[in-house]
Structure 1
Amino acid sequence: MVRLAAAALAGTAIEFYDFFVYGTAAALVLGPLFFPTFSPLAGTLAAFGTFAAGFVSRPLGAMLLGPLGDRHGRRPVLIASLLLTGVATVAVGFVPTYDSIGIAAPALLLTLRFLQGLGLGGEWGGAVLLTVEHAPAGRRGLWSGFPQIGPSIGFLLANGTMLILSATLSDAAFRSWGWRVPFWGAGLLVAAGLLLRAQLTETPQFRELAERGERAAAPLAEVVRGHWRLVLLTAGGLAVGYAVFYAVTTWSLAYGTERLGVDRTVMLGCIMAAVAVKGAVTPLAAHLGDRFGRRPLCLLGCAATVVWMFPLIALLRTGEPPLMFLGFLGALLAFITLFAVTSAYLPELYEPRVRCTGAGLGYNLAGVLGGALTPIVATAVSQGDGPPWGVAAYLTAVALLSLGCFALLPDTRPTADRPTGGRSAVRPLEAGEATA
């Protein structure tokens, strides 16, 4: 389990590095470089629009690669997703700016961001199933929480690289070529990840399905026909996590540097410190899911988000690094309270024959609802000289929506007489689960 968890963690870290480095670049430099004819506000919105394209394509990636995982195994998905995301990320580093090739520049940027999302859309389902389908029932939450640490590591790698380059290069050099270096560096990470994943073995549950001839002939059709309500509820429930995370890591970075005049290295440092703490407490939150249930942790995370969003904006507005860090940390702790347990929760809600497709689709649809729209909406409603209370209201509304969705889902906590526990609507993971 240690080896498998390490492999899953490393893979998600690499893939999310690829995804996050684009978000940081969009907040800092892509607007003026690829949309120079726009006003500063319109350029930022346009850059966040290309950022959103990666979220729109993520459910498509789940629909494309998820059935591959259900039909041919979890391992091929892990390799295909890593390769697709990595190649697209490296290519972003070579795209000429608008001054060189005109409108073709943002068009290429949009295309590559779309391909990034396709790859990441298939990544999550394969990575979490690698641990979920190997782990003992009573520790499934703990072991499957390790892939959820990967996004924190990927974020720290991406933004750490940006921070070093931003601090050591002149502004002209950073805008000329410095921002491209993290994209080029993705090639080395992808090569290491492919080498690691090539040595993995298939999960026991998939091998059993294959041996019994019980693999789904059309996994996506089965999910749409028999699990559509579950997909929508999980997508609505997880939307708040995406909204909070990208409000902190993407929108606040642009707002702090452009509107508050805070140095970009200071903003990056505050955000990275909060993300580091979030990553460190992820295993604890995942373990609590094993002990107290997945759904209670999700409900707690949503409630904490409702309470914290207005204080977050007030602390951000001060422009003081310690206070901004406190605001970011509170928001990310609320986020990880629910996201740490989702890697066990979502697979437990689906029967094994369609698990890779169903869990991946619900998880990535949530990214469209929460991640794609949040930087755009937050930027649009944060104009004016006063505090951006509209951002807090928007995030609170998303949290209330997610709270309602989780309230309609069953729990899957392991108990002595039920390996995955919860309500009678959910049978043991080993036997396959019914929909909520």
Structure 2
Amino acid sequence: MRTVVDENGGGAPSERVLRRVAGAALSASTLEWYDFYIYGTAAALVFNTVFFPDVSPVLGTLAAFATFGVGFLFRPVGGIVFGHFGDRMGRKKLLVVAMVMMGVATTLIGLLPTYGTIGAAAPILLVLLRCVQGLAIGGQYGGAMLLVTENAPPHKRGFYGSFAQMGPSLAVILSNVVFLVLIAALPAEAFAAWGWRIPFLLSVVVIGLGLYVQLKLEDTPDFRELQEKAPAAGGPTPARTRSPLVEALRTHPLQILQSGGMIMVIQVYYYILIVFMVSYVGTLGVARSTILTIVLISSAATVLTIPLFAALSDRIGRKRVLIPSAVATLLSAFPFFWLMETATVPGMLAGALIAGIVLGGLYGPMAAFFTEMFSTGVRYSGASVGYQLGAVVGGGFAPLIAASLLAWSGTINAVAAFVAIAAVLTLVSIATTKEHYRPASVAAADPAREGA
């Protein structure tokens, strides 16, 4: 085992248990994000006509994207609420609650009457259920991430943490496969009338998985150690009398802002790719099945690169992977849009693969880095709030902002500039964040060095 200087270290379970935890985190993350993402795909494909039929196609699309963004407004709220109780009650329990909330809300969307049936009440109920989805996904990330990173030994934390990170990209693949099968199997009229409901109704599986996690997995060693330090009968320790969120804001304010900035371009780039571009290239004459397939392939590239870059960060350090990846993301912004605008399969595929690879390089080491940025008692709160703040600022309204920039400027270059600005913010955030993990090679070369 490598020698690691790590303030957040601790005993790790057996490899067998760790593999089970990693599989559960991957499954939970994938299915939760599947529920969250099918909304975006449906918003790009049918929600403008199903829930906003009385406005122009452009306004209907903007309204559908706006409801997509509403869920992101509630993600920080979910991060705050679930972070507080996750630091008090445990990672596993709150992950299960988030999964059940998501499964119920998404299933109800699949049962929701349309505008033609109940009028304005339909989009209102849609927005309310989207808010519940936002709360659930806001709490899910911290639970799934910490469940696996706090179980992993420090020198494998990057690799095992990547299992929680792969979930969103696997969810895009899963959701796009479901929609592609439905589009191929159903006439356009049937898909618009009732076929779009099927992906939402399938989310009942999330509830079952939540029960499995509750019954089969224990909480993390780090959290159990924190509980053991509390007095046996005298209530919480003085350090835990404050709300974990208040304590995180007091002790780690800069880290919360930095973690939000670190994922900024991931959110902007990714949601423009999987939501906005699905709608935009359709206006260029590209078939829905074609663009969904290209997004699926891009997500597969991200899934493959996430564990590779995460494992590399275990060997050379987090920032030595993240900074070059952020630079590559910045350099790829304009070429990505130029290639997608060719509306040819080779051009769009090349652009989507570029995006998928650079995003994998950025996203892979993030779970380990976030875990190492915060102390155990406030880790769920700090990591969740920072991540979700970056998500609401960067990702939630990225499709709406992109569509508005395109309508205002008439050129896709304005959207590319939006991504480039986000990439600069991410690069600055990573560069100014202290490195807490030191692999043996770095420690041997420079024992006095504390950060990168």
User: TM-score over 0.5 for the alignment?
Assistant: yes
What amino acid maps onto 2:192 in structure 1?
R
Indicate which of 76, 84, 103 corresponds to 1:86: 103
Indicate which of 326, 333, 339 corresponds to 2:357: 333
Indicate which of 120, 123, 142 corresponds to 1:106: 123
Aligned to 2:433: 409
Indicate which of 311, 323, 346 corresponds to 1:322: 346
Q: Which shifted more, 216-225 or 163-172?
A: 216-225
Describe the shift of the 1:423–1:166 C-alpha distance in structure 2 as closer, same or farther (beyond 3 A).
farther
- Give the Cα separation in 2 of the matches to 1:120 and 1:146: 17
- Is the Cα–Cα contact under 8 Å of residues 71 and 134 in structure 2 kept in the other structure? yes
Indicate which of 357, 367, 382 corresponds to 1:343: 367
Indicate which of 67, 85, 92 corresponds to 1:75: 92
Aligned positions, number: 425
- Give the Cα separation in 2 of the matches to 1:365 and 1:55: 9
Indicate which of 15, 26, 29 corresponds to 2:32: 15
Output one character per residue of 1:236-267: Cα deviation in whole Å (capped at 9) or x when no partner: 1211101111111100001011x212110011
- Give the Cα separation in 1 of the matches to 2:373 and 2:410: 44
Moved segments of 4+, more than 6 Å: 421-426
Cα displacement (A) at 1:322: 2.0
Cα displacement (A) at 1:98: 1.1
Cα displacement (A) at 1:190: 2.8
Describe the shift of the 1:387–1:67 C-alpha distance in structure 2 as closer, same or farther (beyond 3 A).
same
Matched, 1:34 2:59: no
- Give the Cα separation in 1 of the matches to 2:314 and 2:209: 32
Matched, 1:202 2:226: no
Aligned to 1:274: 298
Cα displacement (A) at 1:298: 2.1
Secondary structure at the counterpart of residue 145 of structure 1:
helix
- Give the Cα separation in 1 of the matches to 2:172 and 2:304: 13
Cα displacement (A) at 1:194: 2.5
What amino acid maps onto 1:237 in structure 2?
M
Aligned to 1:432: none
Secondary structure at the counterpart of residue 382 of structure 1:
helix
- Give the Cα separation in 2 of the matches to 1:151 and 1:46: 24
What amino acid maps onto 2:84 in structure 1?
P
- Is the Cα–Cα contact under 8 Å of residues 14 and 193 in structure 1 kept in the other structure? no
What amino acid maps onto 1:42 in structure 2?
L
Indicate which of 274, 278, 293 corresponds to 1:253: 278
- Give the Cα separation in 2 of the matches to 1:278 and 1:422: 35
Matched, 1:155 2:179: no
- Give the Cα separation in 1 of the matches to 2:448 and 2:276: 39
- Is the Cα–Cα contact under 8 Å of residues 70 and 216 in structure 1 kept in the other structure? no
- Give the Cα separation in 2 of the matches to 1:55 and 1:366: 10
Aligned to 1:233: 258
Mapping 1:137-216, distance limit 5 Å: 137-213=154-230, 216=240
Aligned to 1:47: 64
Name the Cα RMSD after superposition.
2.0
Matched, 1:383 2:407: yes
Cα displacement (A) at 1:44: 0.8
Cα displacement (A) at 1:97: 1.2
- Is the Cα–Cα contact under 8 Å of residues 55 and 372 in structure 1 kept in the other structure? yes
Output one character per residue of 1:147-188: Cα deviation in whole Å (capped at 9) or x when no partner: 111112211111110111011111110000000000000012
Q: Which shifted more, 174-183 or 371-380?
A: 371-380
- Give the Cα separation in 2 of the matches to 1:184 and 1:100: 19
Aligned to 2:334: 310
What amino acid maps onto 2:114 in structure 1?
T
Cα displacement (A) at 1:411: 1.4
Secondary structure at the counterpart of residue 95 of structure 1:
coil
Structure 1, unpaired ranges of 5+: 427-435
Cα displacement (A) at 1:330: 0.5
What amino acid maps onto 2:313 in structure 1?
G
Indicate which of 140, 144, 147 corresponds to 1:123: 140
> What TM-score comes out, normalization by structure 1 length?
0.94
What amino acid maps onto 1:413 in structure 2?
Y
Aligned to 1:430: none
Describe the shift of the 1:194–1:229 C-alpha distance in structure 2 as closer, same or farther (beyond 3 A).
same
- Give the Cα separation in 1 of the matches to 2:196 and 2:381: 35
